[in-house]
């Protein structure tokens, strides 16, 4: 029975890995063939394909070479959707065969994690290898997310829906800024001169980075801002910017301070008020309701801190580190807003009753 479960799980895990790895291998082989390089062997693009596969799991890299030396941890969150969808599909196929949800999930996570370590070890060399500490944590998070139960509590589902809504508003603001600065984005594309194949890959890469950029925009709108290199801070009330990489999507960056954009901070109190109001309507004793409120604030702050960690990092050189959202700062801003909303909602009935008595 155990051998059969392992065999079925191994089949589906390999299938989930190859669904993502094969297209990446085709892209790297095609790019290698069209580049016209006289050095290296076909093993080089295959190793590069595994690096891309590891990067899709948000595994950071330590890179040491003659051309580039540094730490790459600013990776596209959009790329993580590929392994998540492949894992989810393979997990459901395994579950249909084995039947036991708990055993299936344990086997699938274990086998996938072991093969992930094997591929990471085989793809490592003296020039490129993953950061094993963070590189082992992020795939576990993706595995837990992809194999989680689809049915959520209504309150947690509402929190997620509202967060997607806020991220959508941030995406609209980012898109509008990019449209207004389209000429700058066009000039940056001309400077890079990526060619036809390089241009296609550059567009795909920028699309995969859109969740990172949308979340940075969200952090900007609520006042916590983001960084784009060493000793930089970009927010509506501060604008410390040194140099930026020649990436067309960065044309959406503001050109100075824009304090009026702090009006968007009202989105967080509205988010807190909606959730806390629904919690108040739950038919439970006051102690349980207060526990739900504390859990709501803790989950919200922890989730945003996790997203900020995954969506930010270092971009190879010391000058481009850190890039993205500061996890501590955005957590403090969100926690302060939610606690303030909870305090106002708690004190309001007493103040209202006092005014009624005085009247």
- Compute the average pLDDT of residues 244-260: 84
DSSP for 83-96 reads HHHHHHHHHHHHHH
HSE-CB at 265 with a 13 A cutoff on CA atoms is: 22
Give the pLDDT band (50/70/90) at residue 150: low
Distance CA 231, CA 227 (A): 8
Give the pLDDT band (50/70/90) at residue 358: low
- Choose among 206, 290, 318: nearest CA to 252: 206
* pLDDT over threshold 70, residue 16: yes
pTM, whole model, 2 decimals?
A: 0.88
Structure confidence by residue, pLDDT tens digits, 212-239: 999 999 999 999 989 988 888 999 998 8
Give the pLDDT band (50/70/90) at residue 4: confident
Distance CA 146, CA 148 (A): 6
Average pLDDT, the chain: 85
Residues 6 or more apart whose CB falls under 8 angstroms from that of 112 comprise 13, 16, 17, 87, 139, 143
Instruction: Match 């094993």 to its residue by tokens.
Output: 132
Report pLDDT for 182: 83
| Other residues' Cβ atoms within 10 Å of the Cβ of residue 252 | 21
Structure confidence by residue, pLDDT tens digits, 95-124: 888 878 888 888 999 999 999 999 999 988
Higher pLDDT, 215 or 359: 215
Instruction: Match 């030396």 to its residue by tokens.
Output: 69
DSSP-derived secondary structure letter, 237 = S
Give the pLDDT band (50/70/90) at residue 254: confident
Structure confidence by residue, pLDDT tens digits, 284-332: 788 888 888 888 889 889 989 999 999 998 988 878 888 989 999 999 9
| Other residues' Cβ atoms within 10 Å of the Cβ of residue 25 | 18
């Amino acid at each position: 029975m155990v051998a059969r479960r392992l065999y079925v799980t191994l089949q589906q895990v390999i299938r989930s890995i190859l669904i993502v790895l094969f297209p990446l291998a085709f892209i790297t082989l095609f790019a290698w063939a069209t580049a016209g390089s006289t050095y290296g062997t076909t093993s080089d693009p295959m190793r590069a394909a595994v690096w891309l596969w590891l990067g899709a799991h948000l595994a950071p890299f330590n890179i040491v070479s003659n051309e580039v030396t540094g730490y790459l941890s600013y990776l596209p969150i959009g790329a993580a959707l590929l392994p998540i969808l492949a894992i989810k599909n393979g997990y459901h196929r395994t579950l249909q065969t084995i039947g036991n949800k708990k055993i299936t999930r344990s086997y699938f996570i274990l086998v996938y994690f072991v093969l992930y370590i094997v591929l990471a070890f085989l793809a490592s060399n003296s020039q490129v290898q993953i950061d094993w500490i963070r590189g082992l944590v992020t795939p576990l998070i993706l595995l837990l997310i992809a194999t989680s139960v689809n049915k959520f509590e209504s309150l947690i589902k509402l929190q997620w829906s509202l967060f997607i809504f806020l991220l959508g508003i941030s995406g609209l603001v980012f898109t509008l800024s990019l449209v207004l600065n389209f000429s700058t984005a066009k000039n940056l594309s001309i400077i890079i001169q990526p060619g036809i194949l390089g241009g296609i890959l550059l567009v795909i890469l920028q699309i995969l980075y859109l969740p990172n950029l949308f979340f940075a925009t969200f952090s900007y709108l609520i006042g916590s801002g983001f960084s784009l290199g060493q000793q930089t801070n970009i927010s509506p009330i501060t604008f410390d910017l040194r140099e930026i990489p020649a990436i067309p999507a960065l044309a959406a960056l503001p050109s100075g301070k824009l304090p009026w954009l702090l009006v968007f901070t009202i989105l967080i109190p509205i988010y807190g008020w909606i959730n806390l109001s629904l919690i108040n309507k739950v038919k439970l004793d006051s102690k349980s309701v207060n526990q739900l409120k504390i859990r709501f604030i803790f989950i919200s702050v922890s989730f945003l801190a996790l997203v900020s960690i995954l969506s930010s990092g270092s971009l190879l050189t010391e000058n481009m580190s850190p890039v993205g959202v500061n996890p501590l700062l955005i957590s403090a801003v969100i926690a302060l807003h939610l606690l303030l909303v909870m305090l106002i909602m708690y004190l309001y009935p007493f103040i209202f009753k006092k005014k009624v008595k005085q009247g």
